[in-house]
């Protein structure tokens, strides 16, 4: 791994690394915040944060204001990139923001030319935690959270891997991607036209599937003034699925908040405390 940045912040350390990924067959970047108590003697649990469309590892670390609470709670935060990057990585032909670079949707692509590099599911669930747990003073306790497309990733990865995450949370997540434009475009491009292959990446359908019903506590925060609420996010589908299957979902709608990092910064401390409770 190559250390790209190293910053003292809120008593702990923010570090940014670049490494060669076997899973995505390219160079990947991630950032990690380590609280001041993290050491070879005192290892700490990890919250994996998945960012949304167009973002990199830097958005959350620079805008969320999470470091003071994370340091006080003794939680490390890992923020990976949202897709593979590089000159040889295939992108959307139209260079749109909602597909290709910056829009990996946290799944394993099966369609050429994306299938060679866009293996974000395996990168987040398997390769990245192995790297983190091998090189940093952290435990194997993990939680997962994210925003928008990253909220979709947090919900689906958390539901499908309840043995790996003690709790799940999301801000403004895409909960039913099979029924929204962002999801339909991404699933068609990455997974093909067979919609039966899409079902394994839709949080609402996963919550309805008994195979994934080893429930982990889930917190979802949604702003009422989110301009993507009705067309893309549609959180009521997740609420209905949780009610029908007695899933432990804590859903909170916050009046006046939009889709931006102003919303995340307003409630990130609550999410960190939520995960800390289940780490304990």
- Phi/psi at 50 (nearest 5 deg)? -110, 120
CB atoms within 10 A of CB 19: 15
The reported pLDDT for the residue numbered 175 is: 98
Q: In angstroms, rounded to a whole number, what is the distance separating the alpha carbons of residues 2 and 91? A: 25
The reported pLDDT for the residue numbered 212 is: 63
Residue 138 to residues 2, 29, 32, 106, 132, Cα–Cα distance (Å): 19, 19, 11, 23, 8
Q: In angstroms, rounded to a whole number, what is the distance separating the alpha carbons of residues 29 and 21? A: 9
**Strand partners for 103:** 100
Token representation of residue 193: 């036209």
The reported pLDDT for the residue numbered 150 is: 98
The reported pLDDT for the residue numbered 93 is: 85
Q: What is the pTM of this model?
A: 0.97
Sign of the Cα torsion 147, 149, 155, 157 reads: negative
Residue numbers of the chain with a pLDDT score lower than 70: 210-213
Token representation of residue 168: 């799940």
The reported pLDDT for the residue numbered 211 is: 67
The reported pLDDT for the residue numbered 68 is: 98
For domain 2-277, the CATH architecture is 3-Layer(aba) Sandwich (3.40)
Q: Domain residue spans in the chain?
A: 2-277
- The residues carrying an active-site annotation are 148, 226, 259
């Amino acid at each position: 791994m190559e250390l790209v940045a190293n910053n003292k912040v809120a008593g702990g350390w923010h570090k940014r690394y670049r490494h060669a990924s076997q899973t995505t067959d390219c160079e990947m970047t991630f950032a990690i915040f380590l609280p001041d108590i993290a050491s070879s003697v005192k290892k700490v649990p990890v919250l994996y944060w998945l960012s949304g469309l167009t973002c990199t590892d830097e958005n959350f670390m620079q805008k969320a204001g999470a470091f003071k609470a994370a340091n006080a709670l003794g939680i490390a935060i890992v923020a990976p990139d949202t897709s593979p990057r590089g000159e040889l990585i295939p992108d959307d032909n139209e260079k749109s923001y909602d597909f290709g670079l910056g829009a990996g949707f946290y799944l394993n692509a099966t369609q050429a030319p994306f299938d060679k590099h866009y293996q974000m599911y395996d990168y987040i669930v398997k390769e990245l935690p192995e790297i983190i747990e091998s090189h940093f003073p952290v435990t194997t306790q993990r939680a997962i959270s994210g925003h928008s497309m990253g909220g979709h990733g947090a919900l689906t990865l958390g539901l499908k891997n309840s043995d790996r995450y003690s709790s799940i949370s999301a801000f403004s997540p895409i909960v039913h991607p099979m029924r929204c434009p962002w999801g339909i475009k991404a699933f068609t491009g990455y997974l093909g036209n067979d919609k039966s292959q899409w079902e394994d990446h839709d949080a609402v359908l996963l919550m309805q599937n008994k195979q994934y019903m080893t429930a982990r506590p889930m917190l979802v925060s949604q702003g009422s003034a989110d301009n993507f609420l009705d067309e893309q996010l549609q959180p009521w589908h997740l609420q209905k699925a949780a009610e029908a299957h007695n899933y432990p979902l804590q859903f909170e709608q916050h009046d006046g908040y939009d889709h931006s990092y102003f919303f995340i910064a307003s409630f990130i401390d609550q999410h960190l405390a939520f995960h800390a409770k289940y780490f304990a």
